[in-house]
Structure 1
Amino acid sequence: MIMSTPVPKAPTLIGFLRCLAPAEQLSWSDLDPWLDGDEAQFAKDAKRLRRGLDRKDVRITGLQPGQEPDCYESGRYSSQGTLRSDGVGSYEKEIGRLPRLGRSGEFRFARRYSFFRQWVGELLTEQGFAEDRIKQMLTHEDLGEIDWPKGCAKPVQDRIRRRLAELLELRNAFLHGTLYIVMGAVHKYRGRGIDTPDLVQEGNVSLYQALEGFDWARDVRFKTYAEYWVNQAFLKILYNSVRTVRVPVWVQKTLKKIRDLQADFRQSKGREASPDELGALLDIPGPKVKRLLETQRYAISIEAELGGGEDGTCVGDLLSNEDEPGVPEQIVDVPLRERIAEVLEELNERERRILELRFGLDGKEPKTLSEVGKLLKVSAERIRQLQEAALRRLKMSKSRDRLDPFMA
């Protein structure tokens, strides 16, 4: 559950706002008591708080990690020293000096960021900025020259610039406290044909995107949410880099699902599945499945010569080095696996074990109905019945919402 302090009642908030002096200086922590309620209370108090702070033209200043130790973990990212030869050793060492946000700190900073983002967005909307321009101003550090709408007075312009600067300061503090997430993932994917600096850059971009899309009200840690998106960004780079002929990532992922279903179908039915049957299982039209399968039908000998054979180059010369690790099938997103395990807790031990064996949720190869039946000493038909019952229970369970942040 989200750790929060008791939320003061509205009269107390009104009293707080009345006591503020014009242009008074407040820190982030001064706002926390009014932002720590549940989603409904947050929306109610945040709106009232924004209006009150604007009326008094209150300034908001940031805090150093040492000023709010309850938001940060005592430990720091430990540099493994293995990235020195990759050209990012000094950067990794710098990350090791940054304090790491803890669970309560992640939720606190996420609430603050949501509050500030809505605040600045409302100010820009009131001045007549277009929606696309507002989004750009909220997400870009270098705003350049702002083309202010007619009628936007200088004091209002100054206030908006100040709020944008306050938003940037908060965002940077949030990111600095979570950059260790990227470095942890870099170690998993380095040495697979991608330059480590490129991994770091792509990881930092995906961390920023995770911050913009994070919803603290879902009761999912930012660390869990961000790790998923960083891993997805790295996998996309690898998918795009290990092929000489580029195939869209979504096609590759769909083909993998199709191959898994084909193998399962052969084991359970003793024959090949038709495109229509595969389409029904994937909720994809049969003709589309057929076209997808055709993308992997073409084969060519690795000894085939290229360019008329004049320079002796063959297809095999363009293939990746066998000594260099490829994209491993077994790369499983650990945060997602942990979240699945939490959802499976809704089931009894027998149902949970059946789903783990059938779908490979234990990290091993998926097993057929017959194989699971032999292990559990019941018939394949009984396993099928128990599997369907377990899946129905999960579909009805409220805990399945925990997987929503991972649905791309």
Structure 2
Amino acid sequence: MELYAKTVQELVEKAGEDKILFYDDIYPYYTEEDLEFNKILKDLEKAGIEVYETEEEYDEIVLSQTQFLDLVVGDKEPDELDLSKLEVEEIEEEVLGQIMSTYTARVDDPVKMYLKDIGQIPLLTADEEVELAKKISFGREAKEQLEYMRQEGALSPSDELELQRVIDEAEYAKHKLVEANYRLVVHMAKKFDKGSVQFMDLIQEGNLGLMRAADKFEYERGFKFSTYATWWIRQGIARSIADTGRTIRIPVHMNETINKMGRIQRQLTQELGREPLDEEIGKEMGITADKVQYIKRISREPMSLENPVGEEEDSSLADFISDPNAITPEDHMIDEALITALNEALETLTDREEKVLRMRYGLLDGRNYTLEEVGKEFGVTRERIRQIESKALRKLRAPSRQNKLKEVYNNKRR
């Protein structure tokens, strides 16, 4: 545990003031089979560290507000080309209405009720959005000031009351900003609704991303909240699918690696005109062929043993899968013959000799009794039992008794 805690602490320090790490920063601390990777990610998240697979993912998907705008816009106003590259969508009220009517017409009752509820929430005007964002910003500042004044011991009751009022107003403003954009989450969830995860679960994960966006949004940058929130919603939904969309869960970091390998495999297939070799895929990904095979194995989708097979579908897949531990009819017959031959050989001994051997070698009830336990059964010493056992074994080794046992035993070993 001390080594693990030290590892997490080193990673936190490595993240620095930016509080950002990439998978390449973490890989040296674990092996691919190590089950602690997800635990490391969770502990880093608790420490406020953002972890991304690659720098490209960080740049293109989940940028902080400042870096997001600086990268796309710089000192200029955003033009259509910049926004088209970002694939950020402006969702108008009419479009949202169409989405709502589509889903209301075809989904089950819980979703209908949810869509009906959020459909009654009015959309915000640009001015209202800015006003709410200002209150959220004031709330962040008030929270920092409140903590600072408490630490310094300079917090008067009136100051605390006023700062808490600003914080409460910020929480309410955040709630209003989030609920006004619930329909944006529905729109994003629709794009990811492929059946692997329940639609309402997608919406829930998207709403978590929406709330995260509200925490980080800075209205001063000039973009609409929906433009910024789109990225956080998409990330929340996509990661939820990666985390829960499979029958057998695959860690998020491996799911992203699987997707990357799939893209490279398709690209190489187009370039080479054939299926690429594991070595060729590994070369493009910077990993070994063995690692490629490992990724392929864990990416396989499980199949149900109850899947119907055949034209009439009267059989299941389980009917055609052999059990490597099952006893074949031939082995079963040999086992029966060996038991019969052994019983016949034991029956040629005296009753006491037979019972001693059966108790000593588990032929009575499956348990091997000690010399002392057998001695108590017969009321004699353990040494006497040892003598009886030795004499009985010598009798069984006689050719007249041994030949039949040898024949059956040798057949079993073939």
TM normalised by structure 2 equals 0.43
Higher RCO, 1 vs 2 (CA within 8 Å, ≥6 residues apart): 1
TM normalised by structure 1 equals 0.43
Q: Which has the larger radius of gyration?
A: 2
